[in-house]
Structure 1
Amino acid sequence: MNLSNIAIKSEKLHFKLENKKTKDGMTDYEMVVTVRFVFDSPDSGEKYIGFITPEGGNDEWDERDHFKDFKTSVNGKNVNTTAYRLTDFIPKDVKQLDEVKKYFKEYDIQKAKQEAEYYKKSYVYYFKANFKKGENVVEHSYQYDGSSGVGYTDFNYIWSTISKWKNQKVDDFEVIVEPGNALIAIPEIKMKNGKVINWKLVGEGNMDYGYKDYYNKDGQYRTLYAKLKSGYLYFKTKNFKPKDEFSLVEIIHLNGNYIFPEKTEKNLKFKDSLTQKVYSVKFLTADELKKITDKDLKIMRNYFYAVAGYDFSDKKLKDYFSKFLWYVPIGKDVELNEYEFEIIKNVNKVINDRKNEK
C-alpha cells in the first residue's frame, strides 16, 4: 500500500449494464467492467499490484453475490489473482503506520483508521506482474451484481487508489458508461481541482441533471439521470485526480425506495400524482375512482407501456409521457412483466365497470 514510483500513463474504463430476466419476469441488470491501464515503469522486475473491490460482502461473495469471473492480463499474458480482505494489508501497529507516513505529506493515523473501518469488508485482487522498463499494459475484466435495494441497484467503482501511484494522477483518462435501456443515476463526481465530471452523450436518449436531498452540510447534491435509446455516456480528461469515487444507480422500479428529485434542470419529471395512482388503483374507494376521468384512465392503462418505451401513435399519450425523463420511445415491440400486467388488469376493470354503468 505504498506510494509507487510507477506512473499511470492512461486508464480506460468501460462499464456496461447487461440485462437478465429474474424468475418473476422482471428485468435485472449486472455490470460488466473492463479496465485498461498503461503504466510507465522506471525499471523492470516483478511488481505486486492490488485491485480493490468497491465493497465487501459475506465470505461467499466472490462467486455468488457480487464479483464473478475476475480476469487480469499483464502485457497480453493472463496472470493468476488471489482475493484477500483489504484489512489484511492495513498496518496493525503504530510502527507500521509511521513507515506508511513517510510516503505521504499529509497523513494522519485517525484517517487511516477511518479508511480501515470503511473498507474493512472490501476485498482486493492481488497479483504479481512482470514489468518491463517503460510501458506496460494491465487489463482487468469482471462481472458485478451490485448492491440491491428496493427498486434499485448500486454499482460502485473505487478509483481514488490512483493517489497511490507516481504523481497521484492519470495522464490520459477516459470512462465510458453503456447503460442499455436502463434508467440510471450518477451522482456528481468531483475532481481534486474542484471541477466536476461533465458527461457527454453519444447516441439517442434523455440526459439531464437534478438535485437530490442529502444529509450533508450542503443539503443537496447534483445527480445525472439518463435513459438512452442507443449509445453511451463518456468522459475524457488529462491529469485525472479524483476526489469522489464512481457510483451508478440502476433504477429498476419507479415506485421503489429510490427518492427522485421533483424535476430536472430542464423541468422533466419522474412522477406525478396520476402515474402514482396506477399502483394503488385496486385499493381506491368508489369516490376516489369517480374523480379519475376517462382520459386519466387511458393514461394510467398505458403507463407501463410508456415506461417500457412504447412508441405511441396517439399524440396525446405521447405528449403526456414526454414530460417524463424516463420516456424514450424505442418501438412497438416492448415487454411487460406479470406484475405490470396485473396492475393494467386492475385499471381495465375500472374502465369496463364504468362502461357497464353507462
Structure 2
Amino acid sequence: MKNLALLILLMLLPNLILANDGAFFAKGNQLIPISETDISVKKEILTLKKIKNQYIEVTVYYEFFNPKEAKTLTVGFEAFSPQGDVEGAPKNGKHPYMSDFTVELNQAKLNYKVAYVFDSLYNKSGKIKAIDFKNFEGNKSGNYVDFFYVYHFEAHFKKGLNIIRHTYKYDVSGSIDYNYDFEYALSPAKRWGNNQIDDFTLIIDNGDFETFSINKSFFKDASEWKIDGVGKTENVKGAPNSFIERDALKFHIQKGKVIFKKINFKPNGDLFVYAVNSIGVQDFAYLPHSYYQSGNIAEPKTEFQKKLLKNLPFARRGYIFQNPELKSYYEDLDWYIPDPKYIPNVNLLTPEEKKWYEKWK
C-alpha cells in the first residue's frame, strides 16, 4: 500500500525535482467539491505573483452558481507534500511550505481544518477519511513523506450566485537546472458541476526583467496570451528524454505581467512555469536577464567584460548603445528589447543596481 501511495503522488507530480537535484516545496491547486455537486464555476480569476524568488502569492476570485435551493457543501484544497531537499514534516499541523491560507464566501470569512490523507481515495461518501497521524506507519518526516494534506471547510452556497475569495502563499521550488519553478493544478476545476470554468483568467506576475517558460499543457500558442507591459515571446521545442521534454512558450518580460483568458475552459493539463539557470555566464557568452541570476556571472577578466557588467542594468531597460561592441553584444541576447525612448539614468536604478553599477565603474 505504501508503494501504491507513492506511485499516486508521483503521478500527480510529474514535474517533481528529486533530492539530489533540488527541492519541490508545494504547488497551487483549485478548490474542489468533496462530493458530487451541480454547483458550477461561472468565473475564475487566478493571480500568481512571484515575490523575490522566494514564494508565490496566490489570489483567486471565484463565482459559483448554485441552480437549486441553498445547501452546505464540504470544499477541499489538496496540498501535495514536499519532496527532495526539504523537511516534509507538518509545521504547526499544516503544510510546511504553505502559509496565509484564507477563504471568504459571500464576504464572510470561513474557518478551515487540515487533514492528513494517505492517497487519492480519501473521499468516502462525501467525507474526508484522514489518517491517524500518531499511529501512521509511513514516513512522517524527512525528504519524502507518505501522506499529503487536504485543507477543507464547510461552505453554505445560497441559491444563485456565490463569490469566493481565496488566498495563500507557497514556496518557490528550484534545482540545479531551474533558477526557480512553480506549478499550479488547473484540471481539478473540472470536478465541479459544469466540468469546466465558464470564464477563466490567469494572471502571472513574475516581476520585471524576467525570462521564464510555460509548458504548452493547456494552450497551443502565443496568440492565447497577452503581455500587459513590455516583452516578447519565443517557442521552445521539447524532445523526449531531454532536459526540456515538453514544448513551451518562453517569455522575456522587461516590464509587466502575462495574461491568459479562455471562455469554456476545460483544462486537460496543469500549469508549470520555470526559469532555466543561464548557460554561458562563466565565459560571458551570455548574460542573464534576471537580477536573481547575477550571482552566477563570473568575475570579468577584460575591460570589455567590465563594460558589459556596468551597462547590464541599462540593457535590461532597452538602451540602444552607441558603442558598436556593446550594441552588437546585447542585440544578440534573446531577452534584449531595444527602446529608442529610454535614456540611461543611474539615479533611477534600484538600490541593488546602483551598487552593481558602482562596482564595475
Asked whether the two chains share a fold, i.e. TM above 0.5, the reply is: yes
Structure-1 residue corresponding to 2:36: 3
CA RMSD of aligned residues (A): 4.0
Structure-1 residue corresponding to 2:165: 139
Question: What amino acid is aligned across from residue 99 of structure 2 in structure 1?
Answer: K
Quickly say closer, same or farther: Cα 1:214–1:77, change in 2 above 3 A: farther
Structure-2 residue corresponding to 1:248: 273
Residues 215 and 249 in structure 2, CA contact (< 8 A), matched pair in contact too: yes
* 2:285 aligned residue (275, 278, 281): 275
Quickly say closer, same or farther: Cα 1:173–1:2, change in 2 above 3 A: same
Question: What amino acid is aligned across from residue 39 of structure 1 in structure 2?
Answer: F
The Cα shift of 1:155 comes to 1.4
Residues 18-49 of structure 1: per-residue CA shift (max 9 Å, x gap) = 22xxxxxxxx3421111111111133121110
The 10-residue stretch of structure 1 (182-191 or 59-68) with the greater mean CA deviation from structure 2: 59-68
> Is the counterpart of residue 324 in structure 1 residue 349 in structure 2?
no
The Cα shift of 1:272 comes to 9.8
Gap runs ≥5 in structure 2: 1-33, 83-87, 127-143, 288-295
User: Counterpart of 2:285 in 1: which secondary structure?
Assistant: helix
* 2:152 aligned residue (100, 116, 126): 126
Quickly say closer, same or farther: Cα 1:8–1:320, change in 2 above 3 A: same
User: Counterpart of 2:38 in 1: which secondary structure?
Assistant: coil
Residues 170-207 of structure 1: per-residue CA shift (max 9 Å, x gap) = 1111111122115242333334xx85682221211233
Residues 110-149 of structure 1: per-residue CA shift (max 9 Å, x gap) = xxxxxxxx99654222111111011111111112222132
* 1:68 aligned residue (90, 99, 103): 99
Residues 39-89 of structure 1: per-residue CA shift (max 9 Å, x gap) = 111331211101223653432298785211111100111101222234376
> Is the counterpart of residue 44 in structure 1 residue 75 in structure 2?
no
Judging by fraction of residues, say which structure has more helix. Answer: 1
Structure-2 residue corresponding to 1:12: 45
User: Counterpart of 1:43 in 2: which secondary structure?
Assistant: coil
C-alpha distance in 2 between matches for 1:310 and 1:327:
7
C-alpha distance in 1 between matches for 2:192 and 2:145:
19
* 1:84 aligned residue (115, 123, 129): 115
The 10-residue stretch of structure 1 (36-45 or 150-159) with the greater mean CA deviation from structure 2: 150-159
Gap runs ≥5 in structure 1: 20-27, 101-117, 256-269, 283-288, 349-358
C-alpha distance in 2 between matches for 1:300 and 1:61:
48
> Is the counterpart of residue 297 in structure 1 residue 305 in structure 2?
yes
Q: TM-score, normalised by structure 1?
A: 0.65
1:16-31 alignment, distance < 5 Å = 16-19=49-52, 28-31=53-56
Which protein is bigger by CA-based radius of gyration?
1
Q: TM-score, normalised by structure 2?
A: 0.65
C-alpha distance in 1 between matches for 2:70 and 2:247:
44
Residues 211 and 251 in structure 2, CA contact (< 8 A), matched pair in contact too: yes
Residues 269-310 of structure 1: per-residue CA shift (max 9 Å, x gap) = x8796435994568xxxxxx7xx8x6x535654475467658
The Cα shift of 1:2 comes to 3.5
Residues 32 and 144 in structure 1, CA contact (< 8 A), matched pair in contact too: yes
User: Counterpart of 1:161 in 2: which secondary structure?
Assistant: helix
Structure-2 residue corresponding to 1:177: 204
C-alpha distance in 2 between matches for 1:178 and 1:124:
27
User: Counterpart of 1:40 in 2: which secondary structure?
Assistant: strand
